[in-house]
């Protein structure tokens, strides 16, 4: 019986670990020369989605939990991505915080935050429309975080970080 319990716990742990997507961008490819001299400032659009929509086999054992602060979580995702990629990315509340003479300012509008729970995997998807304020270029990206469940703030942060990384990949192509 002990062996069966151990085996069941081991399989459950492997399943949860295997279902998670990697969100460490230290070794991911961005054109470092393209971003070398740039400071990129991200401003969260006040009209952005600020609640997580949950669908699927959602069940809470301990009752509903509050949604994370989307603005603060977006800020954390920018800081973490900047640290991992070594690119000058900063979150700002308003333009007066900028000290560079030729800044790249991005308005980020989160249009969707959906967390879908399947039988064994939960997928948090964010859709973000990034707009450069200097030339009005728009790039819409999606961030995905797959896991076995977990913390709302951490999953949202990783999904937003994925969306921003996808934006940077698209932006360097232009």
CATH of the domain at 120: 3.30.160
Helices vs. strands in the chain: H and E counts, helices first: 4, 6
Which residues are CB-contacts of 85 (< 8 A; sequence separation ≥ 6)? 25, 26, 28, 30, 35, 165, 168
pTM of this prediction? 0.83
- E-only strand ranges, the chain: 39-44, 53-56, 88-92, 104-117, 122-132, 138-147
The pLDDT tens digits for 28-84 are 778 888 888 889 999 999 999 999 888 887 665 555 667 899 999 999 999 999 999
In the prediction, which pLDDT does 59 show?
60
In the prediction, which pLDDT does 4 show?
56
- Strand, helix or coil for residue 26: coil
Which residue from 37, 171, 173, 43 is spatially nearest to 101, judged by alpha carbons?
Answer: 37
87's tokens: 């690119």
The pairing of strands 88-92 and 39-44 is parallel
CB 23 within 8 A of CB 81: no
The pLDDT tens digits for 98-141 are 888 888 999 999 999 999 888 888 899 999 999 998 889 999 99
pLDDT at 25 over 80: no
CB 84 within 8 A of CB 26: yes
**How many distinct structural domains can be found in the chain?**
1
Which residues are CB-contacts of 142 (< 8 A; sequence separation ≥ 6)? 125, 126, 127, 128, 163, 166
Range of the domain at 162: 2-173
């Amino acid at each position: 019986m002990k062996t069966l319990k151990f085996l069941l716990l081991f399989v459950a742990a492997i399943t949860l670990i295997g279902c998670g997507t990697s969100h460490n961008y230290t070794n991911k490819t961005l054109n470092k020369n393209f971003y070398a001299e740039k400071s990129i400032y991200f401003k969260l659009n006040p009209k952005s989605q600020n609640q997580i929509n949950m669908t699927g086999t959602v069940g809470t054992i301990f009752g509903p939990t509050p949604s994370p602060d989307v603005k603060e979580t977006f800020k954390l995702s920018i800081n973490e991505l900047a640290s991992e990629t070594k690119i000058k990315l900063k979150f700002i509340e308003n333009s007066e915080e900028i000290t560079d003479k030729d800044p790249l300012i991005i308005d980020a509008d989160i249009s969707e935050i959906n967390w879908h729970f399947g039988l064994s995997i939960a997928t948090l998807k964010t859709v973000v429309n990034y707009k450069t304020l200097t030339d009005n270029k728009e790039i819409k990206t999606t961030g995905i975080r797959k896991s076995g469940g977990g913390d709302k703030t951490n999953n949202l942060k990783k999904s937003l970080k994925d969306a921003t990384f996808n934006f940077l990949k698209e932006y360097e192509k232009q």
